[in-house]
A = this chain, B = another copy of it.
């Protein structure tokens, strides 16, 4: 903690309360003006702390707020900080202890919609920039900040905005604080996200629904066939059987494996929380290894024939399933989609027609643990929390991470100060003030580390 942060703690908190009291619910048309007000509030705030070129960037939806400070010198790296100022709706409102837009502190936590997702986390960087600008009169690196207003509605206009302002947003590292630490006791950095290949498989048997009495045993049933195909997509060891599926899978590094093994993980509680008797996935790996470092395959949906109440004796004409594969470095979504399609076609019996469609996909992302951004974030977290952060990954994809990396060609650092337990998207959302202040300090240390490495 720096003296400046100590001295201004109360003001930082009251400013955060001000920001949290603006109901910038991006999904709700009736809050459109509140969203704009929130952008204006940030604009004024950036100006007040000495950030430059402050500007509201319009989109076809809600605008983004931009600010920068670029006087660190050409020999210093440029960091782009990203966050979002829009928030989730508040329903069910009756389950909130306080009004979601009347921020209230209890037990060292601030309760309000957006507290942890993402106003509290984005504002700690704003306060970090202020701390450095006011204490030192400058920033150790060049900094750009982009705070969008549509994250909770799928960042619909972010990609065109990034493309339109590619030069303005050019940077060496992208810093995002919109994720959670592993646990209150375990600060962490997320270095990887799984990719996705999302497919649809449609099996057609007879040219119309048939009576299962008159035709059952004569004509192949496409629902039985589809089940047979899906059953053959994984073996008894939970491994995906699509030929070549594992060809490009890169093993986790030894450091990462050790980090994962060292993490507190109560498998019994995990199963209990999800209502299952045991976890299940690829044999030979722990649950966290499976979720973060191993690819997998899941049926996301399927349907065929009669799905109403009671008994209708139909032999269906069609059966369809949505099947997605989570990918890890260095699998490629197009390559996997092609291998999947080829395999399905090869195992489908000749008595049916099969159609495979690639619905959606994205490549996995992995930041080098030795990259400048991760190194700087690691030191910064250790200085703030007194212990080295562990390297974690996410089992899911965060599409904007890929968008940033693809369009701006810079690596993303996910330095989260939230906690999974902070009710994001739910009533009584909150943010631990300890992490708010530690986050401000960690953020200042991150920029200094980037300068030292630059």
Residues of A within 8 A of B (CB): 194, 196, 198, 205-208, 210-221, 223-224, 226-228, 230-234, 270, 274-282, 287, 290-291, 294-308, 310-316, 319, 321-322, 324, 326, 349-352, 359-360, 394-397
Contact = CB atoms under 8 A, between A and B. Distances in A.
A407 to B, nearest CB: 21
Contact of A281 (B212, B217, B223, B313): B217
B300 A303 contact: no
Nearest to A350: B277
Nearest to A397: B213
B319 A351 contact: no
A144 to B, nearest CB: 29
A218 B291 contact: yes
A219 B279 contact: yes
Contacts of A208: 275
A218 B279 contact: yes
A216 B351 CA distance: 32
A255 B337 CA distance: 54
B196 A291 contact: no
Nearest to A292: B217
A209 to B, nearest CB: 10
Given A206-B276, A217-B395, A290-B217, A305 B301 contact: yes
Nearest to A309: B359
A210 B274 contact: yes
Contacts of A307: 301-303, 322
Contacts of A294: 217
A280 B219 contact: yes
Contacts of A303: 302-304, 307
A117 to B, nearest CB: 15
Contacts of A230: 223-224, 227-228, 231
A233 B296 CA distance: 25
Contact of A322 (B205, B297, B305): B305
Contacts of A276: 205-207, 219-220, 351-352
A230 B305 CA distance: 15
Nearest to A305: B301
A383 to B, nearest CB: 30
B302 A319 contact: yes
* Leading 5 A-B pairs by shortest Cβ distance: A213-B396, A207-B275, A231-B231, A301-B305, A223-B299
Given A276-B220, A312-B300, A395 B351 contact: no
25 contacts: A198-B313, A206-B276, A212-B396, A215-B395, A216-B291, A216-B324, A216-B326, A217-B291, A217-B294, A218-B395, A220-B276, A223-B321, A224-B234, A227-B227, A228-B231, A280-B349, A298-B315, A300-B312, A300-B316, A301-B308, A302-B302, A303-B304, A305-B322, A307-B322, A313-B396
Nearest to A223: B299
Given A224-B230, A274-B210, A218 B287 contact: yes
